Amino acid sequence: MASASSPVIKDAKVLMVGAGGIGCELLKTLALSGFSDIHIIDMDTIEVSNLNRQFLFRQSHVGQSKAKVARDAVLKFRPKINITSYHANVKDPDFDVDFFKEFNVVLNGLDNLDARRHVNRLCLAADVPLVESGTTGFLGQVTVHVKGRTECYECQPKPAPKTYPVCTITSTPSKFVHCIVWAKELLFSKLFGDKNQDNDLNVRSSDAASSSKNVDDIFEHNNDEDITQYGRRIFDHVFGYNIELALSNEETWKNRNRPKPIYSKDVLSDDFAKQNGNLDNDNACSDGLSVSAMSSLGMKNPQDVWSLRENSRILLEALRLFFTKREKEIGNLSFDKDDQLAVEFVTAAANIRAASFGIPLHSLFEAKGIAGNIVHAVATTNAVIAGLIVIEAIKVLKNDVNKYRMTYCLEHPSRNLLLMPVEPFEPNKSCYVCSESPVLLEINTNRSKLKDVVEKIIKAKLGMNLPLIMNASNLLYEAGDIEEDMVAIYDANLEKVLAELPSPVTGGTMLTVEDFQQELKCNINIKHREEFDEEKEPDGMVLSGWTQPASAEETKDKSVSNGANTSDAPTAAESENDDDIGIVSPVKKRKLPDDSNKPNTDDAKHQKQLQVIDDEDDLVMLDGNLDGFKKRRVS
């Protein structure tokens, strides 16, 4: 290929985004390969669960900047090269197009879709090649994105975070993950989260007849109420009464197994209050995150699957501990996978619900993985992928266009291949990111506000960070660092319906939306439409002509996602600290009976013909399932 002394490598200036699982391996391999000017950005700090694969980090580094520690560690065996570290978010305005232009190639080792899209846009704007990567467990892939030559990162649809119809969560769970989502997003939030937040627990779990006011009171803890009594009241309400109520709707259970109401007296003896955790016993640990229902009940192994009775005890003990040890946080809590007590509560609640619906119970370890969207990660896959990134980066630097490949690392060989190279696709001509094709927005211009368009379309769907909106030459809105008097005008505009804006937006209007940081400009053709289907089109608007994320599950109803740290969270800061996410499923040989390489066997959408590169005459056409991002695959 190219030796370490080759000027192509030695003189290259390389930007790495991410110093996690792939990043550590990549920085090491780049340094060994002779790269001597490497810049690395990562906003994260080191955690214990990183140490099994992010080999540049030690126990003593926990809490420190990943980018900086990785730099220092590599300089120990390659002291003469230049590594510049940035403990920062790649979306910071400092990392603008001019910054990106300084580099010969950008290498991504990122953990979230949002940051990936952002870097893709900056690379397109700066006209710098991007080598993109991701791993999950034994699977991984490396792709090359060169403006005008290959497809950009956003030319192909990226799957949206998995969401579930509300009624599946509130009434008809059939998988353990449904119980987890219920426990985490509904019950936990209801009891410990912001009381002002909408919560479907009271909307759907009870009959429409009872007013929501009434139901709210049930979850309220009365000051004079014994905490154990309160816990049992909640228990009986959500696992007993609510199930009875649901059972009364015969229509629902025609083709389903009927759930079984569970009351606390059935699973716990009456003298339970006395034997269950002792108030005087557990005051040894008073700092928030170390409080644990498991330890106060003497249960140790997180791999054990608890009985219904054990789950019930954990649930009540966890609830009691929240109200006695962490009272101040109640009302402000949101689920955090590193919060032991929260994980215990959610595990127990999900298991009791699972028992009620005849779904197999799971251990705390497993439940934590599902609830926390924890990504499976091993060092070996990251090492392989990092090696492949460097090989691809060298081809890009040598401008060896015909040799560019996307490479998939498979768990089970396909046609004897464990590492499968595939020729990159050409740019998608209708991609709003890398071509200039406009998108179409159907919307009721007499009802929808500018704010709805900004939040639901421009930020959530088009992935812009700091948008500016123009109607012909009139500026309607601009985000970011602007003058105060303008802020007032724009804020006022946000609250106006489209047709009543200073320069009215109606059917036939073309809006121009621009993000200066991403140097992305996009035209939106507005089409007025009076009515929208509340169930199918809950946003009240429909965007077309863009690469629609492949929703993992049809959402006929309003939907609930499993957690706030989804891939399109507003900033990378809010995504989880785990690295290595975002794998595209490997290509799959046609008619191959073994489906094990394919994450979502039931999701055959977006199939694409791929061609395996071969030096032999007999080329084989393959079916590729490109939408199987496994990041949010939780079942």
Partner 1 sequence: MDGDGEELTAQETALYDRQIRVWGADAQRRLSKAHVLVYGMKGTISEFCKNIVLAGVGSLTLIDDRLVTEEVLSSNFLIPPDEDVYGGKTIAELCCDSLKDFNPMVRVFVEKGDLSSFDVEFFSKFDVVVVSCCSRSAKKLANEKCRKASKRVAFYTVDCRDSSGEIFVDLQDYKYSKKKNEETIECHLKYPSFEDALSVPWRAFHRRMSKLYFAMRVIEKFEEAEGRSAGDVSEADLSNVLKLKKELCTAQSLNESHVPDTLLERLVADTTEFPPVCAVIGGILGQEVIKAISGKGDPIKNFFYFDASDGKGVIEDISDSNAGK
Sites of contact with partner 1 (CB under 8 A): 1, 3-4, 25, 28-29, 31-33, 48-49, 51-53, 55, 58-59, 74, 76-79, 137-138, 301-303, 365, 369, 374-384, 386-388, 390-391, 394, 405, 407, 409, 411-413, 416-421, 578, 594-596, 613, 615-616
258 neighbors 245 (Cβ within 8 angstroms): no
418 neighbors 410 (Cβ within 8 angstroms): yes
Question: What are the residues facing 559 on neighbouring strands?
Answer: 165
Q: Which is nearer to partner 1, 114 or 578 (CB)?
A: 578
CB of 576 to partner 1, least distance (A): 12
Q: Which is nearer to partner 1, 59 or 473 (CB)?
A: 59
Question: Is 167 annotated in the active site?
Answer: yes
Task: Please state the residue numbers annotated as binding site for ATP.
Answer: 18-23, 42, 50-53, 66, 111-116
Tokens of 229: 């009594």
R_g (Cα) of the chain, nearest Å: 26
CB of 514 to partner 1, least distance (A): 38
CB of 546 to partner 1, least distance (A): 32
CB of 173 to partner 1, least distance (A): 19
One-letter-per-residue 3-state SS of 110-170: CCCHHHHHHHHHHHHHHCCCEEEEEEECCEEEEEEECCCCCCCCCCCCCCCCCEEEHHHHH
Q: Which is nearer to partner 1, 144 or 152 (CB)?
A: 144
CB of 439 to partner 1, least distance (A): 35
CB of 385 to partner 1, least distance (A): 8
Q: Which is nearer to partner 1, 14 or 541 (CB)?
A: 14
The b-or-e profile of 22-49 (16+ CB within 10 A means b, else e) is bbbbbbbbbbebbbbbbbbbbbbbbbee
Amino acid in the structure at residue 335: F
Q: d(Cα 547, Cα 556) in Å, to the nearest integer?
A: 20
CB of 367 to partner 1, least distance (A): 12
SS3 63: coil
Task: Please state the residue numbers annotated as binding site for Zn(2+).
Answer: 152, 155, 431, 434
The catalytic position among 167, 179, 285, 522 is 167
Task: Please state the residue numbers annotated as binding site.
Answer: 18-23, 42, 50-53, 66, 111-116, 152, 155, 431, 434
Question: What are the residues facing 527 on neighbouring strands?
Answer: 442
CB of 383 to partner 1, least distance (A): 4
Q: Which is nearer to partner 1, 342 or 462 (CB)?
A: 342
Q: Which is nearer to partner 1, 77 or 250 (CB)?
A: 77
350 neighbors 367 (Cβ within 8 angstroms): yes
450 exposure class (CB count in 10 Å sphere: 0-12, 13-18, 19+): buried
Q: Which is nearer to partner 1, 419 or 494 (CB)?
A: 419
CB of 489 to partner 1, least distance (A): 49
Name which of 167, 155, 162, 252 is nearest 201 in CA terms: 167
SS3 503: coil
- In the 8-state DSSP scheme, what is residue 253? G
327 neighbors 230 (Cβ within 8 angstroms): no
Beta-carbon-side half-sphere exposure of residue 566 (alpha carbons within 13 Å) = 16
Q: Which is nearer to partner 1, 27 or 457 (CB)?
A: 27
Q: Which is nearer to partner 1, 272 or 365 (CB)?
A: 365
Q: Which is nearer to partner 1, 387 or 545 (CB)?
A: 387
- DSSP characters for 531-558? ---TTT-TTSEEEESS-----SS--SS-
Q: d(Cα 525, Cα 537) in Å, to the nearest integer?
A: 19
CB of 112 to partner 1, least distance (A): 16
- DSSP characters for 293-346? HHHHTT---TTSPPPHHHHHHHHHHHHHHHHHHSGGGTTS----TT-HHHHHHH
Widest CA span in the chain? 82
Q: d(Cα 10, Cα 388) in Å, to the nearest integer?
A: 18
Name which of 77, 71, 72, 126 is nearest 97 in CA terms: 126
448 exposure class (CB count in 10 Å sphere: 0-12, 13-18, 19+): buried
Q: What is the dihedral of CA 339, 343, 344, 346, to 10 degrees?
A: 140
The residues carrying an active-site annotation are 167
